[in-house]
């Protein structure tokens, strides 16, 4: 131990390292009771300074001490116990992982002592309500890594690349971006699979040999490793990492990854867009690391929320944390009786991801029997105590265009004999598996994409799409590209130029504007399906080939949904909306419910028509509308309703009693 430094015991919290007036304060956990300490490094130091903690600095497994003396030359550090060097799990910046895919052992890493200053100016969190939100999920590297992204080569795959794409993201109407894991980690994983077959050419970047083992490819396409250990890139990043540090390989200037991340958040906030980060915690992760790391990102990086993965106890722990009371927390289920004690919150900050919406929508979309009931239930899922996030495609599973192109996953290039990824895709290829030039198949696929988007944005939960789905980005049928750091895992921006994809992109923008222009299409509270205002119409009602008589049988594939704008007391807009879903393989004629006197039905959009959302068309026959096979029509009731009087009464409702 260097005797020029004085070591004084101090309080065992908070964990981590910080400069003080007298020197440096360090608080860290160790497995050993003796032989533990810290090793300091600096560019002007002749050799590392190793300081062992005395027994009086120990509280349980924690050693906490203030090291006084001339510590100005200390720039980075590592912890040690015995002969083992390791990173401080509370370190806020890690050096050594700047190069993407480099095989780096932990002993070669370094933890930075100081956070860099950042001027947030007047940054303000948007705090957008769930009913007013549209979520856009993306992988930082994969979103702009492709040359087709149009981003400067130095910015591709970085936080700066996201900044360059803000105008585009904003043009979609997005209010929140969700980042797949962007905290620091070693992206290489060990696998112990001695051989596997590969169809075609192994994509660049999907598998890597470690520095200690050489990958050998045999003539028959089998890859073998002499040591039976291979390094595979964990492109997605759902693994243990350094939870307090930003991913340096996601930065244009890795040494300033923290600054670059903050600039990204700041610019997104200026554009009214929230930032939510995904975190994966194993079930054995300590509660202190979970809580402290999330507090760190919320306070120091101004993120708006987190999406938890893995640990099944973290959601309740964080939901009850007072500091995170206005932070959005997303998970797959919460114990509301424990969190809220029987009282609904004033503001919904928690949200559940709803895979049931995905399942039911996919089944209804492809025309499965016994699907309409689940579809309608999930379309209306809207809880008072928690937000509901609806999606048809997430990061895992088929991309939206692949959902209508493949019935079977194509994961061979993942190196697991196509055994990874779900087999329950609930997809339909529209008649031909994979790519085709047959125009009738392509037209049906494009129509199905618009049908799916209509279902999503007409649902009452918060819609979410995965970046690139809006313009037909494909993964060629791979539904689990967790290791594909190559064009399979990257967004292909060249797809934007295709006429049909331009059409689908414009249709998505149209749906977003329509949804947020009319409050009745994005309510805070669930519909009651009742005429509780005695206006002659329920807030929402179902219809079929006869008005007010929907066919909800197991064999039904069509339904009409009437949204009554008269329930919007605080809104000037009192428009009615009728959405006719026909997922049957034959045309269906819907009888339209009669509007209040003075109003007429007009067609807003028709997924059958390539440009059916460009202008409103008045219906010649106000009593019915024809929906072609596998298509969706949206209609609006416009005009000024005639006020009820003793003479006129209410002539607007032709509802038949059952």
Q: How high is the pLDDT of residue 103?
A: 86
Helix, strand, or coil (residue 97): coil
Residue 358: predicted pLDDT? 97
Overall average pLDDT of the 448-476 stretch: 97
The pLDDT score that the predictor gives to residue 210 is 32
- Predicted confidence (pLDDT) at residue 2 exceeds the cutoff of 60: no
Maximal C-alpha separation, the chain: 100
Res 411 pLDDT > 90: yes
Paired tokens of 27: 């608080």
Give the tens place of pLDDT for each residue, 330-339: 999 888 888 8
Q: What percent of the chain has pLDDT over 70?
A: 91
- Written out in words, the top-level CATH class of the domain with range 527-639 is mainly beta
Q: Is the pLDDT of residue 238 over 90?
A: yes
First CA to last CA distance, the chain: 89
Say yes or no to pLDDT of 324 above 90: yes
Closest CA to 11 of 64, 90, 58, 52: 64
Alpha carbons 393 and 344: distance in angstroms, whole number: 30
What DSSP string runs through 292-358?
HHHHHHHHHH---EEEEEE-SSHHHHHHT-GGGTTSEEEES---HHHHHTT---SS--EEEE-HHHH
pLDDT level of residue 620 (50, 70, 90 thresholds): confident
The confidence score (pLDDT) of residue 227 equals 44
pLDDT of residue 291 exceeding 80, the answer is yes
Question: What is the CB neighbour count within 10 angstroms for residue 387?
Answer: 22
**CB contact at 8 A, 630 and 444:** yes
φ, ψ for residue 297 (rounded to 5)? -70, -35
Average of per-residue pLDDT values in the chain: 90
Return the CA Rg of the chain.
Answer: 28
Query: How many C-beta neighbours within 10 Å does residue 395 have?
Result: 20
Give CATH superfamily name and number for 130-186+236-517: Glycosidases (3.20.20.80)
- 321 upstream amide cis, omega within 30 of 0: no
Q: Indicate the pLDDT class of residue 1, thresholds 50, 70 and 90.
A: very low
Other Cβ atoms within 10 Å of 43 Cβ, number: 7
**Running DSSP on this structure, what letter comes out for residue 163?**
H
Give the pLDDT band (50/70/90) at residue 190.
low
Q: How far apart are CA 656 and CA 591, in angstroms?
A: 12
State the DSSP H helix or E strand holding residue 465, giving kind and residue range, or none if neither. strand 462-466
Query: Above 50 in pLDDT, residue 129?
Result: yes
pLDDT in tens, 497-508: 999 999 999 999
| Matching residue, tokens 């997005």 | 174
pLDDT in tens, 240-274: 999 999 999 999 999 999 999 999 999 999 999 99
Q: Which residue has the higher pLDDT, 305 or 598?
A: 305
Residue 306 pLDDT > 60: yes
Q: Phi-psi category of 527—alpha, beta or left, where left has phi over 0 and alpha has psi -120 to 50?
A: beta
| Signed CA dihedral, 153, 156, 158, 160: sign only | positive
% the chain with pLDDT above 90 = 80
The structure tokens 């399906």 sit at 529
Q: What's the pTM value of the predicted model, to 2 decimals?
A: 0.91
pLDDT at 646: 46
User: Which pLDDT score, from 0 to 100, does residue 342 have?
Assistant: 76
Q: For residue 274, report the phi and psi dihedrals to the nearest 5 degrees.
A: -80, 160
Q: Dump pLDDT digits (tens) for 15-31.
A: 999 999 989 999 999 99
Residue ranges of E strands in 495-619: 540-543, 558-564, 576-582, 588-591, 599-606, 617-618
Whether 219 has a pLDDT exceeding 50, the answer reads: no
- Token digits of residue 139: 């992988």
> Per-residue pLDDT for 208 more than 60?
no
The model's pLDDT over 307-319, given as tens digits with 9 standing for 90+, comes to: 999 998 999 999 9
Rounded alpha-carbon distances, angstroms, from residue 327 to 126, 129, 269, 277: 11, 12, 15, 11
* pLDDT, tens only, 505-563: 999 999 999 999 999 999 999 999 999 999 999 999 999 999 999 999 999 999 999 99
Residue 577 near residue 565, CB atoms below 8 Å: yes
- Cα 164 from Cα 152, distance rounded (Å): 9
pLDDT category of residue 644 using cuts at 50, 70 and 90: low
User: Using one digit for the tens of pLDDT, what is the confidence trace for 164-187?
Assistant: 999 999 999 999 999 999 999 999
Q: Cα(537)–Cα(596) distance, rounded to whole angstroms?
A: 10
Provide the pLDDT for residue 653: 53
Residue 70 pLDDT exceeds 50: yes
Q: How many CB atoms lie within 10 A of CB 541?
A: 21
The alpha carbon of residue 284 and the mean position of all alpha carbons in its chain are separated, in whole angstroms, by 24
pLDDT at 3: 54
Of 99, 104, 18, residue with least CA distance to 66:
18
The average pLDDT across 572-583 equals 93
């Amino acid at each position: 131990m260097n005797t020029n430094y004085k070591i004084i015991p101090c309080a065992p919290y908070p964990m981590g390292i910080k400069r003080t007036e007298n020197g440096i304060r360090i608080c860290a956990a160790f497995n050993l009771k003796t032989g533990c300490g810290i090793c300091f490094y600096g560019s002007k130091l002749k050799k590392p300074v190793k300081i062992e903690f005395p027994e009086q600095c120990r509280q349980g497994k924690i050693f906490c001490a203030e090291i006084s003396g001339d510590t100005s030359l200390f720039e980075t550090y590592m912890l040690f116990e015995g002969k083992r060097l390791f990173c401080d799990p509370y370190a806020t910046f890690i050096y050594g992982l700047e190069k993407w895919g480099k095989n780096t052992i932990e002993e070669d890493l370094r933890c930075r002592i100081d956070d860099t200053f950042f001027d947030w100016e007047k940054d303000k969190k948007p705090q957008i309500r769930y009913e007013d939100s549209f979520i856009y999920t993306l992988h930082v590297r994969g979103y702009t890594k492709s040359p087709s992204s149009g981003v400067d080569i130095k910015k591709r795959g970085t936080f700066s690349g996201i900044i360059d794409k803000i105008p585009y993201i904003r043009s979609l109407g997005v209010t929140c971006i969700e980042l797949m894991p962007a905290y620091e980690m070693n992206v290489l994983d060990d696998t112990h699979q001695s051989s596997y077959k590969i169809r075609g050419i192994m994509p660049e970047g999907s598998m890597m040999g470690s520095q200690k083992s050489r990958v050998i490819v045999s003539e028959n396409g089998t890859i073998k490793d002499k040591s039976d250990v291979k390094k595979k890139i964990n492109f997605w990043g759902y693994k243990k990492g350094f939870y307090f540090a930003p991913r340096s390989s996601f930065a244009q200037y890795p040494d300033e990854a923290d600054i670059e991340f903050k600039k990204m958040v700041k610019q997104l906030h200026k554009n009214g867009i929230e930032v939510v980060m995904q975190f994966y915690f194993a079930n054995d992760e300590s509660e202190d690391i979970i809580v402290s790391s999330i507090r760190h990102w919320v306070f120091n990086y101004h993120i708006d929320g987190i999406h938890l993965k893995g640990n099944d106890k973290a959601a309740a722990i964080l939901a009850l944390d007072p500091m995170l009371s206005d932070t959005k927390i997303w998970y797959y289920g919460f114990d509301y009786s424990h969190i809220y004690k029987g009282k609904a919150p004033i503001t919904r900050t928690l949200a559940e991801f709803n895979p049931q919406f995905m399942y039911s929508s996919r089944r209804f979309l492809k025309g499965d029997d016994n699907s309409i009931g689940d579809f309608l239930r999930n379309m209306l899922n809207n809880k008072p105590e928690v937000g509901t996030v609806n999606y048809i495609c997430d990061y895992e599973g088929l991309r939206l265009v692949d959902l209508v192109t493949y019935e079977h996953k194509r994961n061979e290039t993942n190196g697991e004999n196509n055994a990874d990824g779900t087999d329950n895709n609930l997809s339909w290829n529209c008649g031909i598996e994979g790519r085709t030039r047959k125009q009738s198949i392509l037209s049906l696929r494009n129509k199905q994409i618009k049908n799916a988007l209509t279902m999503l944005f007409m649902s009452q939960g918060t819609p979410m799409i995965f970046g690139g789905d809006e313009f037909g980005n494909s993964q060629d049928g791979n539904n689990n590209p967790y290791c594909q750091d190559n064009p399979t895992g990257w967004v292909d921006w060249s797809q934007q130029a295709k006429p049909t994809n331009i059409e689908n992109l414009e249709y998505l923008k149209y749906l977003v504007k329509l949804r947020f222009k009319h409050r009745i299409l994005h309510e805070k509270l669930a519909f009651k399906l009742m005429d509780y205002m005695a206006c002659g119409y329920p807030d929402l009602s179902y219809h079929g080939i006869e008005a007010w008589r929907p066919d909800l049988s197991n064999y039904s594939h069509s339904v009409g949904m009437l949204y009554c704008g008269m329930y919007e007391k605080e809104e000037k807009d009192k428009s009615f909306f009728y959405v006719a879903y026909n997922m049957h393989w034959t045309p269906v004629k819907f009888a339209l419910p009669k509007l209040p006197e003075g109003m007429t039905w007009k067609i807003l959009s028709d997924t059958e028509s390539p440009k059916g959302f460009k202008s409103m068309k008045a219906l010649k026959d106000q009593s019915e509308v024809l929906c072609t096979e596998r298509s969706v029509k949206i209609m609006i009731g416009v005009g000024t309703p005639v006020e009820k009087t003793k003479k006129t009464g209410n002539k607007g409702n032709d509802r038949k009693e059952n």
